[in-house]
Chains A and B, each alone.
Chain A
Amino acid sequence: MTLLIEESAASTQKKAHKVRGKVRLREHLMGWLFVGPFGIVFLALLIAPLAYALYLSLWQKKLIGGTNFVFLGNYVKAFTDPTFLSGVWFVVRFSLVAIPLQIVIALAMALIVDAVTSLFTRFSRLMIFLPYAIPTVIGAVMWGFLYSKSFGPLTDIFGLFGATAPDFFSKNLIFYGLINVVTWQWAGYYMIILYAALQGIDPSLYEAARMDGAGKWQIALRIKIPLIAPALLLILVFSLIGTLQFFNEPQILRYLAAGTIAPGFTPNMYAYQQAFALANFNYGSAISFALGGIVFVCVYAFLFFTRKRRSFL
């Protein structure tokens, strides 16, 4: 494969040497032409807004006194702002619990669905994946009703044993209530990714392993999991980024439990409140970039510590 590419590259080089300028120019133009449509959209819809937000984050607008250039003042404020820091602490704690939980569930499901082929597993595969197909907003509203004391099943279920149903909207339990919603939503999606990776493994490896006397457990632990490690790493990074940017579910459940889920519950919600409710676009942008920085550091650190595993990035 690499050999082929090298060969063709080499031949292109030779030709280029022969005809020189003209062709090279045309190739350059062709290249830009192909990249162009993507490049324009990329610049206009991603780079430009980011640059603008970065620019905004260096200013401060006051109700009295107008707009001033404060350079990194908003960032200094963010990293000393207890609301922002407690939001960051929340999503970090949340990641530490939610991500391993999701990955373990997704991995277990993927291994089962991969090992056992029956109509039932195929059906389960679909069912486990289904929550991902439900928009997060709808999912959050649905769980809002399921957790409800009047409409949800919890009161009835706990009532059977004469116990009081837990209130997942209370300050103590909202953490677990949200873990449950997120796991329900994403575990199936991660399972599909892992399942696809498992399907890509050459079955002859299993045969060879069996010849050498490996049991099902050993195949799963010593062959399957190591071989899908890149996929595991991928979903870990995805879920880390997604969870640190936690927004949808708490923002929706806020309508049911405003006292428990404050506007600064997660950093992203805090940025939203600052920008859109308080018209503080400058500080909102600074919070977004500060969060972006934290996400970058977390992901970089994570990849650094797992770098032995032939990373995909």
Chain B
Amino acid sequence: MKRKSLITAAALLAAAGAIAACSPDQGKSTANAGGNDASSCTNTIAKKDLPVVTMWGWYPNTQLVVDNFNKQSNEVQVCWTNVGQGGDEYDKFQTAISAGTGAPDVIMIEADRIPTFQIQKALVDIKNYGFDAVKANYSDGAWKDVSIGGAVYGVPVDGGPMAMIYRKDIFDKYKITPPKTWAEYEQAAQKVKDAGGPLFGDLGANVPAVMMALQIQKGATPYTYDPAQPESIGIALNDQASKDVLDYWGNLARKGLVGTQDQFTPEYISGVINGKYATYISAAWAPGYLTGAGVGKGEDTGKFAVAPLPQWDAANPMQVNWGGSAFSVTSQAKNPELAAKVAYGLYADDASLTDGWTNQIIFPLNLKALNDPKFVDLKVSFFDGQQANKEVYVPAANAYTGMTYSPFGQYYFDSMTKQIGAVIDGSITGAQAADRIQEDVANYAKEQGFTVQ
């Protein structure tokens, strides 16, 4: 037992390193994190006489995607560097924006961060650089998430339609069926707890994007603004829906029905592997992430299944999104037109897309893949052959109508993390947390020169 957990620990440590780095020669790449230095590519550039466009990204299969692109292109070659995943990359990009130099030409960013960088004029509107040619490849909803006003600030690659991943073994043991509403979710959690079972889910302070999505699911509209007048913004973070959702999760945590572990940590992953959590409220990219972290490979093989996200009102279901990224062209790009070619072409070829969805690294937004029967009918091995795309993720993605994100996403998420932490330790209620987040973020917005409505 001891030995096994030690091996798990070692494997997880390695996995954590791999997630954080996603690149074997991370030392080399971070040392050359200055974006425009073509000599620091992680990939080998095949056609050396072509102009080079630099790119930052962290998809686990970026190497293959970049190689595929470089092989096909006769105009431009991509020089790829992995400077870290999510927040780590954004911090570096943010610093490069402030410094006015050091950013790459093309950057992978999550859709919810686009307004944050757009308002600083760090991204280029690529509508005039070949948008019409690829417009039909993505749904209107996908374009909406990467557009502000009439301008397009990114090319969608993957989406994160949310669903409920659950452990079949635990559900069978305690004789419960996947809850369809959040009320049923709580009842099921109580039932499992009363029977001495494991935690039903997890409230992680470090995943505020999930809380935001769940609040939006109940009808919250955190931000409203007219891109033509960015200085005037509506902030509604403590409306009834937002309070209800925070209270709901705060109560689940207080009653001991869900855990309060930070997610994406070795501790959490080991909990998932060992069946400590009956459900994982997450997005379509989660199976790929979990597989990469070592979940579903040992004793827990074939124990996972997925069901649609529980609803507040089963009669009027609402689908939401977590994560999902795009390729954007930065305003530091030396040749925006060439960079836009890369942004449009990268991860858009069949070979890369197929690799992405068969390995569950991405939930593709490219309609070539999304409408491909092979993709829709795929029997997902992580879910023990369940046709997860057909049953859950594709309907969720099709029902998704887009969300409006914040132009100061980093501050908003930091504030949420802090207050969710306070809800977890029991010092405030969810409703109080919502009030504090509202006050905190509204003050920040005013300080930054916005007129808050």
- Per the 8 Å Cβ criterion, residues 203-239 of B in contact with A are 204-206, 230-231
Smallest CB separation, A41 vs chain B (Å): 22
For the complex, is A260 an interface residue (Cβ under 8 Å from B)? yes
Smallest CB separation, B119 vs chain A (Å): 6
CA distance A171 to B90 in the complex (A): 28
Contacts of B9 in A (CB 8 A): 145, 150-151
CA distance A149 to B261 in the complex (A): 11
For the complex, is B449 an interface residue (Cβ under 8 Å from A)? yes
Interface residues on A, range: 20 to 34
| Cβ–Cβ contact A258 & B91, under 8 A | no
| Cβ–Cβ contact B418 & A276, under 8 A | no
| Cβ–Cβ contact A171 & B411, under 8 A | no
Given contacts A258-B206, A277-B87, contact A150 B267 (CB under 8 A): yes
Smallest CB separation, B209 vs chain A (Å): 13
CA distance A263 to B444 in the complex (A): 15
| Cβ–Cβ contact B271 & A150, under 8 A | yes
CA distance A151 to B3 in the complex (A): 11
- Total interface residues on B, CB under 8 Å, equals 43
For the complex, is A203 an interface residue (Cβ under 8 Å from B)? no
| Cβ–Cβ contact B267 & A63, under 8 A | no
| Cβ–Cβ contact A259 & B450, under 8 A | no
Smallest CB separation, B228 vs chain A (Å): 14
Smallest CB separation, A225 vs chain B (Å): 42
For the complex, is A79 an interface residue (Cβ under 8 Å from B)? no
Interface flags for A289-306 (1: CB within 8 Å of B; 0: not) read: 000000000000000000
| Cβ–Cβ contact A64 & B448, under 8 A | yes
Q: By CB atoms of chain A within 10 A, which of B97, B267, B270, B421 has the most?
A: B267
Smallest CB separation, B445 vs chain A (Å): 9
| Cβ–Cβ contact B265 & A62, under 8 A | no
Given contacts A64-B449, A258-B417, contact A279 B97 (CB under 8 A): yes
| Cβ–Cβ contact A258 & B411, under 8 A | no
Given contacts A64-B230, A257-B262, contact A276 B449 (CB under 8 A): no
For the complex, is A281 an interface residue (Cβ under 8 Å from B)? yes
For the complex, is B260 an interface residue (Cβ under 8 Å from A)? yes
Smallest CB separation, B447 vs chain A (Å): 7
| Cβ–Cβ contact A278 & B410, under 8 A | yes
Given contacts A150-B5, A277-B91, A277-B410, contact A63 B417 (CB under 8 A): no
| Cβ–Cβ contact B414 & A259, under 8 A | no
| Cβ–Cβ contact B231 & A64, under 8 A | yes
Given contacts A259-B206, A277-B94, A281-B98, contact A63 B407 (CB under 8 A): yes
| Cβ–Cβ contact A256 & B265, under 8 A | yes
CA distance A262 to B206 in the complex (A): 10
| Cβ–Cβ contact A276 & B91, under 8 A | yes
For the complex, is A121 an interface residue (Cβ under 8 Å from B)? no
| Cβ–Cβ contact A259 & B205, under 8 A | yes
Contacts of B411 in A (CB 8 A): 278
Smallest CB separation, A296 vs chain B (Å): 28
Name the residue on A nearest B2 (C-beta): A156
Q: Which of A63, A149, A150, A273 contacts B414 (CB 8 A)?
A: A273
Contacts of B427 in A (CB 8 A): 171
Contacts of A279 in B (CB 8 A): 94-95, 97-98, 120
CA distance A63 to B94 in the complex (A): 13
